[in-house]
């Protein structure tokens, strides 16, 4: 006949076997390891932010850097090149990415449904793309778009530092029933999606 199992002894032996692994208790925020913040390839928490917000920031930084680095050798003419009449230039797509981040700043930080009036005036053409963008967004070197990314990201970081993971996981809205994390994941997805589109254009630039 099998001996009765001593549950306390079993639990103690299990914890020893698993080493330092422990399941987090519900509702308790676990301490985050701060990674090498000078290494963009270290995705994870960042100092000054709650763990999930910091991880989101590290992803956004990796993505926007990828857009700039891949196109770092392009001239103004190449950034303004139109593949066909229905296309958008690489430069206008970069500005579109910044506009997307700005509109989600206004949506999530200020509980709006669109740009503020000031931001709409500045960013709406880039947001909508199309004929107006093809006509107006041109003549800018890559440094112009990099500075634009940096300026917009600085605002994102400043506002995110005022918030925590509870805020990130909340903020559901009626239409899509998506929380703030999903909204900002959409911003990250936009960088990745249009990075692929820009790469396609860059590979077809005139030699």
pLDDT in tens, 107-132: 999 999 999 999 999 999 999 999 99
State which of 2-6, 32-36, 174-178, 195-199 shows the largest mean pLDDT: 195-199
pLDDT of 34: 59
Which pTM was predicted?
0.82
3-state secondary structure string across 64-97: HHHHHHHCCCCCHHHHCCCCCCCCCCHHHHHHHH
Instruction: Give yes or no for a contact between 145 and 95, defined as CB atoms under 8 angstroms apart.
Output: yes
pLDDT of 175: 76
> What's CA 53's distance to the chain center, in Å?
10
Handedness of CA 114, 119, 120, 123 (dihedral sign): negative
Which residues, 6+ apart, have CB-to-CB distance to 67 below 8 Å?
A: 94, 97, 149, 191, 194, 195, 198
Q: Per the structure block, which two tokens stand in for 67?
A: 């857009």
Within a 10 A sphere around the Cβ of 15, how many other Cβ atoms? Answer: 12
Residue 9 has pLDDT above 50, yes or no: no
pLDDT of 172: 86
> What's CA 169's distance to the chain center, in Å?
15
Q: Across residues 168-193, what is the average pLDDT?
A: 92
Q: In sequence order, what DSSP letters do the residues of 149-183 get, joined into one string?
A: HHHHHHHHHHHHTT--HHHHT----TTT---HHHH
C-alpha span between 37 and 28 (Å, rounded): 25
Nearest to 91 by CA among 40, 152, 149: 149
Question: If you average pLDDT over every residue of the chain, what do you get?
Answer: 86
Q: Tell the residue number behind the tokens 């994870």, with chain if given.
A: 44
pLDDT of 18: 33
pLDDT one-digit tens code per residue, 28-81: 344 456 578 889 999 999 999 999 999 999 999 999 999 999 999 999 999 999
């Amino acid at each position: 006949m099998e001996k009765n199992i001593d549950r306390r002894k079993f639990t103690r032996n299990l914890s020893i076997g698993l080493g330092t692994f422990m399941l987090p208790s519900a509702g308790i925020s676990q301490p985050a390891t701060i990674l090498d913040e000078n290494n963009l390839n270290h995705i994870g928490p960042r100092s000054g932010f709650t763990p999930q917000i910091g991880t989101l920031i590290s992803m956004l930084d990796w993505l926007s850097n990828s857009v700039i680095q891949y196109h770092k050798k392009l001239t103004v003419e190449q950034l303004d090149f139109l593949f066909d009449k229905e296309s958008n230039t690489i430069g206008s797509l970069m500005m579109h990415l910044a506009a997307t981040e700005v509109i989600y700043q206004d949506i999530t930080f200020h509980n709006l449904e669109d740009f503020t009036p000031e931001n709409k005036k500045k960013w709406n053409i880039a947001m909508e793309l199309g004929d107006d963008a093809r006509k107006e967004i041109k003549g800018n070197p890559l440094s112009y778009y990099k500075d634009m990314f940096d300026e917009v990201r600085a605002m994102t970081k400043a506002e995110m530092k005022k918030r925590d993971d509870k805020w990130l996981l909340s903020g559901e809205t009626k239409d899509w029933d998506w929380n703030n994390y999903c909204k900002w994941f959409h911003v990250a997805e936009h960088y990745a999606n249009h990075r692929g589109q820009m790469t396609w254009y860059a590979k077809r630039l005139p030699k």
